[in-house]
Amino acid sequence: MDIAIPLYADMTALDAIGPYETLNRIPGARILFVGEQPGEIRTDTGMLGLTVDHALEDVPRPDVVIVPGGIGSRRIARDDRWIAWMRDAHDHTTWTTSVCTGAMLLGAAGALDGRRATTHWSTVHVLTEYGATPVGDERVVEDGKVITAAGVSAGIDMALTLAARIAGEDVARAAQLMMEYAPEPPFAGGTPLTTPPSALEQLPGMLVPLEVEFAQEQAGTA
């Protein structure tokens, strides 16, 4: 069971590492970090480097693909090499999945056409560009062999769902115990509807340029 996780410049690290940590101890699972070429990429903050171990073309037909998001997703979703890899991989996967704006690459490769799908709350309507039915109120959306997760941390919940599909619920629950995933956020929140206005006012300082672009597109002002 080969699970390919693409890494690329300006991605969001947790989108990839959450599912990696959830799935890496499934017996027989081999997680392969793929990208443009072997070597380091820097994530969206510039503060973290992750290692690409395999060029895309060296892992053409993984059993599972998990595409993480981040500001760099818009670039790869417009890049012929990434789209060709994704399209061919998707034709042969058992599961094709994404976290956050990683859904854009799935969309660009045609994998979301006619399907229900989700992505980060700030960009969910962009999915219509790819023929998908955007789902804004579900954290993990499963439609056939395609599973899409909402933003960043939702990749952990998605991966637990995927672990159960791949290896059964007992294995998924054991992985959940190993990573002690009994979440207790200190605040209610994590969605626009549950975040107070005083906190929403902090967002502009946190949004990175591409997320602003997405938000403008969504508002029809770009």
Chain residues 67-106 in contact with a copy of itself, contact rule CB under 8 A:
100
Which lies closer to a copy of itself via its Cβ, residue 206 or residue 219? 206
What's the burial of 86, exposed, middle or buried (CB within 10 Å: 0-12/13-18/19+)?
A: buried
C-beta of 70: minimal distance to a copy of itself in Å?
Answer: 10
Q: Interface with a copy of itself includes 58 (CB under 8 A)?
A: no
C-beta of 199: minimal distance to a copy of itself in Å?
Answer: 4
Q: Interface with a copy of itself includes 10 (CB under 8 A)?
A: no
Distance CA 142, CA 160 (A): 13
Q: How many CB atoms lie within 10 A of CB 102?
A: 31
Site string for a copy of itself, 143-162 (x = CB under 8 A): -------xxxxx-xx--xx-
Q: Which of residues 106-135 bind a copy of itself (CB under 8 A)?
A: 120-121
Q: Is 114 a catalytic residue?
A: no
Report yes or no: 136 and 124 within 8 Å, Cβ to Cβ.
Answer: yes
Residue 119 Cα to chain centre, angstroms: 8
Distance CA 11, CA 71 (A): 6
Which lies closer to a copy of itself via its Cβ, residue 40 or residue 113? 40
The distance in angstroms from the start CA to the end CA of the chain is 42
Q: CB under 8 A: which stretch of 54-62, 71-79, 128-136, 182-190 binds a copy of itself?
A: 182-190
> What residues act catalytically?
100
